């Protein structure tokens, strides 16, 4: 079946640094979503992308829909301690509206 | 605004016991979902209800049953719990099936011993 692979799996960064992570698929996606999960909570939507090449920002977060439609990228600028959590990409499986989630990137910020 | 409410938050079961996880949303959403989250595997869809009165299997439905009780409520039942069902379970809802944004509950941490 379709899979979404995220990298890196986890990362430690210093407060103030920029962060980049990506999500790749074995097949084409028409929508990419990025969620964040705080410890002990459910995921919350950060950014939604609907068009190849689209670049969308939400505060310090910027996400891009890859032009091949098989990947997406999330950047966080000037990280702060509350950026800690797990970041998931998600997209609808081919021919359906059922969304699958990536394996997640766990972010830890060192103050 | 409560959003999506799940009960219980924590549960320990013995192998073979049954239980029902409850979920309710107050956003008048049409679609509801149950996911499980295991380390290193992201969230996997167990069952979903595209609209009131319908339910369908997701990626990992074996060992589970669901009931869409009404538009607000969607329950997940484990008839005979197994250690492999130890996981964190999330209920989610969306305005309609295929709507990009899903709203998640806080999760139920289930341990089967």
Strand-pairing partners, residue B66, are B76
Per-residue pLDDT of chain B in tens (113 residues, 90 and over written 9): 679 999 999 999 999 999 999 999 999 999 999 999 998 788 999 999 999 999 999 999 999 999 999 999 999 999 999 999 999 999 999 999 887 789 999 999 999 99
Cα separation, A101 vs A12, in Å, equals 22
| Cβ of residue B41 closer than 8 Å to a chain A Cβ | yes
Is residue B39 less than 8 Å (CB to CB) from chain A?
no
**Size of the A and B interface in Cβ pairs below 8 Å:** 52
Give the residues across from A86 on adjacent strands. A37, A106
Distance from CA of B18 to the nearest CA of A (A): 24
**A44 CB within 8 Å of a chain B CB:** yes
pLDDT value at residue B1: 63
Nearest-Cα distance to chain B for A100, in Å, is 7
Q: Do B43 and A88 touch (CB under 8 A)?
A: yes
End-to-end CA gap in chain B: 36
Peptide bond into B8 cis (omega under 30): yes
Q: B104 — contact with chain A (CB < 8 Å)? A: yes
Interface contact A102, partner B, CB < 8 A: yes
Question: Which pLDDT belongs to residue B98?
Answer: 80
Element (H, E) at B1: none
**Residue B8 and residue B95 in contact, taking contact as beta carbons nearer than 8 Å:** no
Q: Which member of A33, A50, A88 has the closest CB to residue B42?
A: A88
Give A-chain residues touching B59 at CB under 8 angstroms: 1, 98, 100
Alpha carbon distance B18, A56 (integer Å): 45
Specify the pLDDT at position A86.
96
pLDDT at position B97: 87
Mutate to test the interface with B, among A43, A72, A106 (most CBs of B within 10 A): A43
Q: For chain A, which residues score pLDDT lower than 70? A: 1-2
Where b means 16+ CB within 10 Å and e means fewer, A65-85 reads bbeebebbbbbbeebeeebeb
Q: Report d(CA A48, CA A36) in Å as an integer.
A: 12
How is residue B3 written in tokens?
């959003």
The sheet carrying A61-65 orders its strands as A4-7, A19-25, A71-76, A61-65, A55-58
């Amino acid at each position: 079946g379709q899979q979404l692979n995220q990298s890196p799996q986890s990362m430690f960064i210093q407060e103030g640094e920029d962060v980049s992570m990506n999500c790749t698929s074995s097949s084409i996606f028409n929508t990419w979503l990025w969620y964040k999960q705080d410890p002990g909570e459910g995921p919350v939507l950060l950014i939604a992308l609907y068009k190849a090449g689209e670049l969308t920002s939400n505060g310090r977060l910027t996400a891009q829909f890859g032009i091949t439609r098989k990947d997406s990228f999330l950047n966080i600028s000037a990280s702060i301690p509350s950026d800690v959590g797990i970041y998931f990409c998600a997209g609808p499986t081919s021919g359906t509206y059922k969304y699958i989630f990536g394996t997640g990137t766990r972010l830890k910020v060192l103050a | 605004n409560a959003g999506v409410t799940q009960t219980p938050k924590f549960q320990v079961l013995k192998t073979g016991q049954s239980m029902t996880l409850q979920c309710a949303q107050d956003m008048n959403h049409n679609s509801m979902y149950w996911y499980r989250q295991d380390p290193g595997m992201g969230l996997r869809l167990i069952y979903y209800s595209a609209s009131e009165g319908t339910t369908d299997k997701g990626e990992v439905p074996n060992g589970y049953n669901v009931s869409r009780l009404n538009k607000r409520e969607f329950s997940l039942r484990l008839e005979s719990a197994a250690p492999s069902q130890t996981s964190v379970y999330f209920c989610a809802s969306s305005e309609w099936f295929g709507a990009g944004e899903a709203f998640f509950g806080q999760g139920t941490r289930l341990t089967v011993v």
